[in-house]
Amino acid sequence: MSDTIIKATGLNKSFGNKQVLKNVSFTCKGGSIVGLLGPNGSGKTTLIKILTGLITGYEGDVQINGHAIGVKTKETVSFLPDEPYFADWMKVKDALHIFADLYRDFDYMRCLEIMQRFQIDERMRIKTMSKGTKEKFQLALVMSRHAKLIVLDEPIGGVDPAAREVILDTILSNYREDQTILIATHLIADIERIFDSVLFIKNGEIILDDNVEELRSETNKSIDELFREKFKY
């Protein structure tokens, strides 16, 4: 692990009267896989949208790889949103070309390799894909960028347990030591074994920020169990 890749200090964000992020501060080290865990409506997606430059107008400071959010950081961040973003008329090939045009760090061959594992063909039409296949295809695209930071919003949300295994496997085998992966999810049990550390976010506040192995040895509990405790209704 090396330098700090994300540094957020005192982030506050409101939509109307509702404050969705409250004084959020954290850092992520380079070369780690970090889980951003919280229930629906906890502020996960807002935080991610700030990191990826999709939301502005917040208080506080965020730096990615030492730069304020902007054109520079968009080049260093590869983002998988939680909803498909391709137009229905596109074929897989069209989407591949768009990625290759947009991102200098896009590795076309690697993407084809991952797609092969997912049994996705270049000639397929995006419209006819199942929800799970669309998600896998987007993951293939996002994981094929040599970006310093990869942000995955609910990467296993729409797929069955067998496909989850393949997705986790793909994340592990394609991530490089100089990359950091931030994964937002509420499906913790399936994925906790690949984390280095976790951030728990509740009502817009970070309530826990720790290394997962330390947490397990201190509490004799799984991250899933800790999550259920902290987020009891």
Partner 1 sequence: MVFDANIPIYLQIMKDFKKQIIAGNYKSGEKIASVRELAVSYGVNPNTVQRSLSELEREGLLYSERTSGRFITKDEELLKQLKSAYAIELLDVCIKQLQELQFDKEAILKQMKERLENE
The residue range among 10-18, 68-76, 152-160, 221-229 that interacts with partner 1, by the rule CB under 8 A, is 221-229
* Angstrom distance (rounded) from CA 191 to CA 185: 9
* Residue span binding partner 1 (CB under 8 A) among the ranges 2-10, 129-137, 140-148, 191-199: 191-199
- 203: alpha, beta or left, given left = phi > 0 and alpha = psi -120 to 50? left
Span from 7-15, 52-60, 61-69, 217-225 in contact with partner 1 (CB under 8 A)? 217-225
> Measured between alpha carbons, how far is 85 from 115 in angstroms, rounded to an integer?
18
Residue in 2, 56, 116, 173 binding partner 1, rule: CB under 8 A = 173
Q: Would you state the structure tokens that stand for residue 104, as one six-digit string?
A: 């200098």
Rg (C-alpha) for the chain, rounded Å, is 17
Residues in 33-92 that interact with partner 1 by CB under 8 A? 33
Q: Of 125 and 193, which has the nearer Cβ to partner 1?
A: 193
Q: Does 172 bind partner 1 (CB under 8 A)?
A: yes
Selected binder of partner 1 within 23, 53, 224, 231 (CB under 8 A): 224
Distances (CA, A) of 19 to 16, 41, 43, 55, 58: 8, 11, 9, 14, 11
Instruction: Give yes or no for residue 229 binding partner 1 (CB under 8 A).
Output: no
Of 205 and 224, which has the nearer Cβ to partner 1? 224
With CB under 8 A as the contact rule, the residue among 4, 25, 63, 222 that binds partner 1 is 222
Q: What is the spatial distance between Cα 141 and Cα 136, in angstroms, rounded to a whole number?
A: 9
Asked if 46 and 13 count as a contact pair (C-beta separation under 8 A), the reply is: yes
**Residue 14 makes contact with partner 1 by CB under 8 A:** no
154 binds partner 1 (CB under 8 A): no
Distance (Å, whole) CA 157 – CA 49: 18
Query: Six-digit token pair at 11?
Result: 């982030």
Is residue 165 a contact residue for partner 1 (CB under 8 A)? yes
Which residue reads 């951030």 in tokens? Answer: 199
Q: Would you tell me which residues interact with partner 1 (CB under 8 A)?
A: 1, 31-33, 165, 168-169, 172-173, 177, 189, 192-196, 213, 216-217, 220-225
